[in-house]
Amino acid sequence: MAKEFAQQFYKSSAWKESRTAYIKSVGGLCEECLAHGIYTPGKIVHHKIPLTAENINDPSITLSWDNFKLVCQDCHAKEHAAESRYSFDEYGGVVPPIKKNF
């Protein structure tokens, strides 16, 4: 079920470099947990605007730090559970609205 457009994007050096730089910029902690005063290592750089076949070639969406959020696995599942439709995780897998992916 993985979407090829997302798989290719997540393999790109532009994404890997942006992701690494963003993680450093926020200190490596889950931003969602931190907002609640909890220190949890962030594992996943989530796109607030989910990647689609339409925006995958738009760096203002795919590579914009404004669209990034560093989260732990639990918070990432919650982010996607909050979405009302199917979306894709950072590995190109489908994340149903109610199922925890991790």
Q: Which residues sit at the interface with Zn ion, rule CB under 5 A?
A: 30, 32-33, 40, 46, 72, 75
Closer of 40 and 52 to Zn ion (Cβ):
40
Please give the structure tokens belonging to residue 83: 């979405």
Query: Residue 29's CB: how many other CB atoms inside 10 A?
Result: 17
Contact 54, 48 (CB under 8 A): no
Closer of 61 and 75 to Zn ion (Cβ):
75
Residues linked to residue 71 through DSSP beta bridges, in sequence order: 44
Contact 65, 25 (CB under 8 A): yes
| Beta strand extents in 12-92 (DSSP E only) | 44-47, 68-71, 87-88
Quote the least distance from Cβ 91 to Zn ion, whole Å.
10
Closer of 40 and 67 to Zn ion (Cβ):
40
Quote the least distance from Cβ 58 to Zn ion, whole Å.
17
Quote the least distance from Cβ 79 to Zn ion, whole Å.
6
